[in-house]
Chain A
């Protein structure tokens, strides 16, 4: 089955890991990617610009009701949760989940519900446990979970939290994750 949506979560050290990953995706990569990167509430365009420099895919901060479209990389806006509806995104300002807004768990859980087995979830470097519960939910719905090899992560806490919960299908360093994803996009 061709995946329909890739969701990614990253925290401490995430921007570098994300740019390394995006950089290695083929120019015609055609699965939409949604990212939650924990960051300070005031940062905005600089993150988009930074990620955009690493890829020819189009990077944007999600606005409510944005259609989920191939060829795009979507970033959760600061201070909003990013949720998936069938074919489009929704946002919310609900309370932070495990101190995080946007929350990786929220993105993963809602993607799992809508796209189930057609979802790939990727957990990258980070110094907290956000994403572990989401990864469990995603796996329960038949999705695929990939975890950055903790040995290669700037902070191993977040990848390890997923491993502890037995929710990972694959453990790989970032370049290999990109390679693995590229196979789906031919």
Chain B
């Protein structure tokens, strides 16, 4: 409900321009959705706005409506938009206490299944997925697992499939791996070459990477485990609810749902459908 009232000269120009920006953002997102099919309309506005402004600066444009023009008429510009608007910051064994809890609380449950399907939604450049693969290998479970790793952003998926990361990150990853309860030496999992660390290829064996958009795509299988960390924080309450519905529909009975450290089921309508398994690590189990 943003409109400039008649008494323009009495209007606080700061408030007015902020409303105009809001309108421009809505138009931009609507245009992108209608033309390219990517739906950012229900992303959390505060952080989305920051990123759009950053893109505006990078594209050297003044107004969001000019950015809209460029994005709609220039697919390369849209690609750049996509890359900077989805936040791909990730790490191996991010929040090691999560992986530790997964090892102790979830792995024993998974041992009772002959076959385990996991879904990493919003897997970014793959570090989280390979961390899980390492954990499952060490627990002797990997052979009967299949991991579906999805993201909306094809560029990060391409990166993820390669499993090559900057060598200088390995020191930090090694520390996190140890804190996560790693059983071996982390250096066993990669080969160093030309400033890069190439992950052991056996880790890739049971991982399938594919594009999937949580905002617009449907459930595509039934899973024993869904891991979706630091993705829902980018969605507004409406979209979060919708995605929780999707997860609920995609989990088998007693399936495990793992969220990010500062995310929770607390405000979702599905709160009563799950029980916490490791509450502070945001690991839940579907009740029925």
By a beta-carbon cutoff of 8 Å, the part of chain A in contact with chain B is 61-65, 77, 80-81, 83-85, 88, 90-95, 106, 109-110, 113-114, 116, 140-142
Instruction: Knowing A84-B46, A142-B14, say if A94 contacts B232 (CB, 8 Å).
Output: no
Q: Which of A61, A80, A90 has the most CB of B within 10 A?
A: A90
Complex Cα distance, B21 from A72, in Å, reads 31
Q: Is B26 an interface residue (CB 8 A)?
A: no
Q: A91: which of B14, B45, B51, B262 is its contact (CB, 8 Å)?
A: B262
Q: How far is the CA of A95 from the CA of B47 in the complex (A)?
A: 11
Contact of B234 among A84, A92, A106 (CB under 8 A): A92
Bound-complex Cα distance A110 to B264 (A): 22
Residues in chain B within 8 A of chain A (CB atoms): 12, 14-15, 18, 44-47, 49-51, 87, 89, 230, 232-234, 236-237, 240, 260-264, 266-267
User: Could you list 29 examples of A-B contacts with CB < 8 Å?
Assistant: A63-B262, A63-B263, A64-B232, A64-B233, A64-B262, A64-B264, A65-B240, A65-B267, A77-B261, A77-B262, A80-B262, A81-B47, A85-B44, A85-B45, A85-B236, A90-B44, A90-B47, A92-B87, A93-B87, A93-B89, A93-B230, A94-B47, A94-B50, A94-B89, A95-B89, A110-B46, A113-B46, A114-B46, A142-B14
Contact of B51 with A94 in the complex, beta carbons under 8 Å:
yes
Complex CA distance for A83 and B48, rounded to whole angstroms? 11
Bound-state CA distance A110–B45 (Å) is 10
CB distance from A45 to the nearest CB of B (A): 10
Cα–Cα distance between A81 and B234 once the two chains are bound (Å): 12
Closest 9 pairs between A and B when the two form their complex, measured CB to CB: A83-B46, A92-B47, A110-B46, A90-B44, A64-B233, A91-B233, A93-B89, A63-B262, A65-B267
Which residue, B14, B232, B260, B262, has most C-beta atoms of chain A within 10 A?
A: B262
Q: How far is the CA of A64 from the CA of B46 in the complex (A)?
A: 13
Cα distance, A141 to B13, chains bound together (Å): 10
Docked complex Cα distance between A95 and B86 (Å): 12
Which of chain B's residues has its CB closest to A106's CB?
B50
**Given known contacts A63-B266, A80-B262, A142-B14, what 10 new A-B pairs fall within 8 Å (CB)?**
A64-B233, A65-B267, A80-B233, A85-B46, A88-B237, A90-B46, A92-B234, A94-B50, A113-B46, A116-B15
Cα separation A116 to B17 with both chains bound (whole Å): 13
- Known A63-B266, A65-B240, A140-B14; contact A93-B51, beta-carbon cutoff 8 A: no
Minimal Cβ-Cβ distance residue in A for B22: A113
Shortest beta-carbon distance, B152 to chain A, in Å?
16
Contact A65 B237 (CB under 8 A): yes
Q: Which residues of B contact A65 (CB under 8 A)?
A: 237, 240, 267
Residues of A contacting B14 in the complex (Cβ-Cβ under 8 angstroms): 140-142
Q: State A63–B279 Cα separation when bound (angstroms).
A: 13
Shortest B3–chain A CB gap in Å is 18
Q: Distance (Å) between the CB of A137 and the closest chain B CB?
A: 10
Closest Cβ–Cβ distance, residue A161 to chain B (whole Å): 21
Q: What separation, in Å, do the CA atoms of A61 and B263 have in the docked complex?
A: 12
Please, which residue of chain B has its CB at the minimum distance from the CB of A140?
Answer: B14
Closest to A81 in B: B47
Q: How far is the CA of A20 from the CA of B179 in the complex (A)?
A: 35
Q: Report Cα–Cα, A62/B266, bound state, in Å.
A: 13
How far apart are the CA atoms of A140 and B89 in the complex, in Å? 31
With both chains docked as a complex, state the minimum distance between the C-beta of B47 and any C-beta of chain A, in angstroms.
4
Q: B232–A83 contact, CB under 8 A?
A: no
Separation of A168 and B128 alpha carbons in the complex (Å): 44
Collect the chain A residues with CB atoms within 8 Å of residue B12's CB: 142
B237 contacts across to A, CB distance below 8 A: 65, 88
CB neighbours of A114 from chain B (8 A):
46
Known contacts A63-B266, A65-B267, A113-B18, A93 near B45 by CB under 8 Å: no
